[in-house]
Structure 1
Amino acid sequence: MSKTSAIETFRSLAIGSKLWFRQKDTERYGEKPVEAVKVNLHDVLIVGAQFGWALDRSDIYSPVTEETLSGATKAASGHYLGWGIFDNDLQVWTTDPTVKRARVKKVRPSLIGQRFTIMSLPEGADPAIKVGMRGTMVQTGMETPLVVLDGYHRTTYIHVSHLGIHKRRPKITMDRLPPQTKQVLDLLKAKGSLTAIEAGGVLRARSLAKRISELKEAGVSIIAENKLDHTGQRYARYHLRAAA
C-alpha cells in the first residue's frame, strides 16, 4: 500500500477506531505499540508505548469516550501520548492502518456447585485428603478455589490443576430418556416389577440401578424391595409405585 493511500485509509476510518501497527513501520522509533485509537483526523493515541508527543484532552474529538481512552498511554503530565499523520516519510505511522477487530469476551459459567474428583495431591495437603475423593466447589473465580470434600470435616483450598472437573449434563426428563432407560420403563410397566437379572436377560441392561436412577430423576416413582435369593445373596426388585 502506498504512503498516500495509507493516509486516505486512515482518514476514512471513524473517530474512535482501534488500529494496529506493523513492526516494520515503527521499528525505527524503538518500541512497537500494541494498538492505537483514532482521536481526530490527524492523530492517534498510542496504547502500551513510550514515545509520541502529548495531546491534551481538548485536542481529542468528543465522539471518543473516556472508556475508549482508558487504555491509551499517558505522559507524566497527564496528557495522552499521541502520534501524528502527515504526508512525509517520518510521519506515516503505518503502511496498513487496519481496524483492530473487537474480540468477543467469553464469559465462563460459574463453577460454584461444580463437582470434581481429586486427581493428585497438592504439596503439604492434609493426610486425610486422598486421591479419588470427591467434592464440590463453593467459591470460584480463582485458580485455587475454595472446596468442600465429601466426608472431610472442613473446607479447604485446592488448585484446579489437582482437580478433575465433572462434566455437567442436562437434567434427564421424560422426553429425554436414553433409549435403554425407555425400554426398562416399558418392561416395568408390562411386568410390574423388575430385577437386574431379568433386565439383563431381556434387555441386556448391564446396570439396572443406573437406569432406575435416571427414571427417578425424570420423575418416575419407583420402590426398591431388598430381598434374598436361595443362596443368601441380596438383590433388589424394583416396583412401579401406583399413582395416587
Structure 2
Amino acid sequence: MADYNSGIAIISPENRYVAIVEVVLFSIIQLVQFLMRYNQEWRYWHHRKQRRPARCFLYSWWGLLGILSQIRIADSAMVISNRHPNKSMLIAESVLQTIGLSPLLFEVSLVLLRSGQAGRTGPGNSRYPKHVRFLLHFFRFPVIISIVLVVVGDCIGIPGCMYAGGAVFAATFCFVCGLVSWLAVTYRSVLSPAGHSCVMIVLGALPFLVVRVVYFLLAEFGPRKFSPIDGSEGVMVGMGLVMEVLIIIILLLARAVAEPLWPAKGGPTDPEV
C-alpha cells in the first residue's frame, strides 16, 4: 500500500530523470500512434458513422494508446514540476500510475477485434462469431472495476477493497492470457493470414504484460522498493517503463499487420465480403 506521508516525500534526482525520459518517449509514442491510427481509420473505417477527417482525428488522437501516453506524460510532468509533493499530488501520481494499465489492456482487446476484420473494411465484417466478440469486449469491465477498487481502497485506506480489486484484476488477466492463447490455436483456419499473424504477435506481448502486471500488484501490495513514487528507480524502469514501451511497440506492430498502412494493390477489401 502506498505511503502518502508528504512530510518525508522527496522526489529524487533519479526519479526526475526517469520522468523526463518518460515525457520524451511517450510524446514520441503519441505522435507515432496518432499518425498510424489516422491512416488506418481513414483506409479501413469500421464505424457506422460516416467517415470524416474530424472523426478520424478524434478516434486517432484519443485512441487507447494515445490516452495512455497522455496519462504517462501528465504523471511525469507532476514529478518534474515538484520535488516536494504534498499529499494530494502523491495521491494523484499514484492514481495516474495505476489507471494507466486499463488503456493498455483495452488496446489488447481492440487489436484482437481488428484481427477478425483483417483484410476487410466497413462496420462489422468480423470473422469471429458473436460469443468471441462478446468475450473480447466483456473483459474490459472487470479490468476497470478492479482497478477502481484498488485505487479507491488505496486512497481511503480500506485494505479489503484493495485485495478484492487485486484478486479480480489477477483473475481477469489470467482469463485474457487464456483467451489470446485459445484464439491463436482455435481460429487459425478461420482468420486470414494477416489476422492470425496479428493474434500471434499479441501472444508475443503476453510475457511483457505479465511482468507489467506483476509490477502493478507488487507496487500495491509488495515491499516499498516497488513503489512507483519513492521505490527503486531500477525496478521502476525495468518492470514498468521498459515493459510498457515494448508492449506498445508490439501492439502497434500487431495492428499494422491486421491493417497495413500501405495495402497491397487492389485495396484492402476481402473478396468474401
Same fold (TM over 0.5): no
Q: Which entry has the higher C-alpha Rg, 1 or 2?
A: 1
More helix by share: 2
- The structure with more strand, counted as a fraction of residues: 1
TM-score interval, smaller chain: under 0.3
Question: TM-score scaled to structure 2, two decimals?
Answer: 0.19
